[in-house]
Amino acid sequence: MKKKNSFVLILTVAFTMLLSGCSLPGLSGPAKNTVAVGTLGTSESQIMGNIVRLMIEHYSDAQVEMVNNLGSSIVQHQAMLNGDIDISATRYTGTDLAGALAMEPEKDPEKALEIVQREFQEQFDQTWFDSYGFANSYAFTVTSELAEKHNLETVSDLEPLVDDLKLGVDNSWLKRKGDGYEGFVAEYGFEFGETFPMQVGLVYQAAANGKMDVVLAYTTDGRIKAFDLKVLEDDKRFFPPYDTSLVARNDVLKQHPELEDILQKLSGKISTEKMQELNYEADGKMKEPSVIAKEFLEEHDYFE
């Protein structure tokens, strides 16, 4: 009978461990002293998440647990509210103004940042950090050749040529309300000769091959650099700003008081061009985000 009792004991211990959310040896779980960092499925988000993880591990004793591949900003937001994750690695001002806060879009990047910082503090008890220094927004992009030939710097510079230009865009953008094509025509006052909806991943190649003259790209995509494309400045500020920051729950910052200083070190450190490079390492050169993050931080000496 003694054996049976010890059996029951092992069973209960194992189960309470599993259900109470204790971590199993070898698998770090969401235990009390770990900080969970959530990322999206994109390379960019995972690179930033790993940079955050390595920074925390480098400067403090806290354990960090990565929760990768969350579906969208809204999922990240829910996970933050539930306490499944403590830090979201990448949050974009434009996305969360419209998503989590359900507010009107704000075109001025500084004002937008101010609003999300204030509202997240008040509504969700979360701290929205200053931007990393890059923004992942939509941008009209042309080949460097075309830009040089016609001396293109801003979107307005396209106007005289516009009738002969072929525009390659994301499937959904043409019909989207607000910052879609209709809104664009109203704001800039011209239409492109022809428009070709396609998957957003294909527009870079299409521009590089000369199949398209102008494409609507994501500004941090590594292929902009790799294919030698030029991003035109959105001179009328048509697209809402998508400045990227990390967001942390206030109770975690209280629990680990050193975190705030550590994370603050990252603000303003990564330019859009740098992010293009890092993204290309992942998408073009098949490096894992964790490897890229480590190399990047070692190169910069962990922003000592």
Complex with other proteins: residue 83 or 178, whichever CB lies closer: 83
Give the strands of the sheet with 34-40, arranged side by side: 63-70, 34-40, 87-92, 244-249, 126-128
Complex with other proteins: residue 87 or 112, whichever CB lies closer: 87
- What is the number of alpha carbons within 13 Å of residue 120 lying toward its C-beta? 28
Complex with other proteins: residue 16 or 121, whichever CB lies closer: 16
If we measure between CA atoms, which residue out of 10, 49, 9, 36 comes closest to residue 266? Answer: 49
Residue ranges that bind other proteins, judged by CB under 8 A: 3, 7, 10-11, 14-15, 18-19, 21, 23-24, 26-30, 36, 38, 41-43, 46, 65-70, 79, 82-85, 201, 223, 282-291
Q: How far is the CB of 118 from other proteins (least distance, A)?
A: 28
Is residue 39 a contact partner of residue 67, using CB atoms and an 8 Å limit?
A: yes
**Can you tell me the distance from the alpha carbon of 244 to that of 35, in angstroms, rounded to the nearest whole number?**
20
Question: What totals of helices (H) and strands (E) does the chain contain, helices first?
Answer: 13, 10
Q: How far is the CB of 66 from other proteins (least distance, A)?
A: 7
Residue 300's identity, in one-letter code, is H
Q: How far is the CB of 214 from other proteins (least distance, A)?
A: 20
**Per-residue exposure over 70-100, b if at least 16 CB sit within 10 Å of its own CB, e if not:** beebebbbebbeeeebbbbbbbbbbbbbbbb
Is residue 242 a contact partner of residue 107, using CB atoms and an 8 Å limit?
A: no
Complex with other proteins: residue 29 or 193, whichever CB lies closer: 29
**Can you tell me the distance from the alpha carbon of 30 to that of 32, in angstroms, rounded to the nearest whole number?**
7
**Can you tell me the distance from the alpha carbon of 140 to that of 121, in angstroms, rounded to the nearest whole number?**
34
Residue with tokens 């801003």: 154
Complex with other proteins: residue 54 or 97, whichever CB lies closer: 54
Complex with other proteins: residue 19 or 102, whichever CB lies closer: 19
Complex with other proteins: residue 118 or 285, whichever CB lies closer: 285
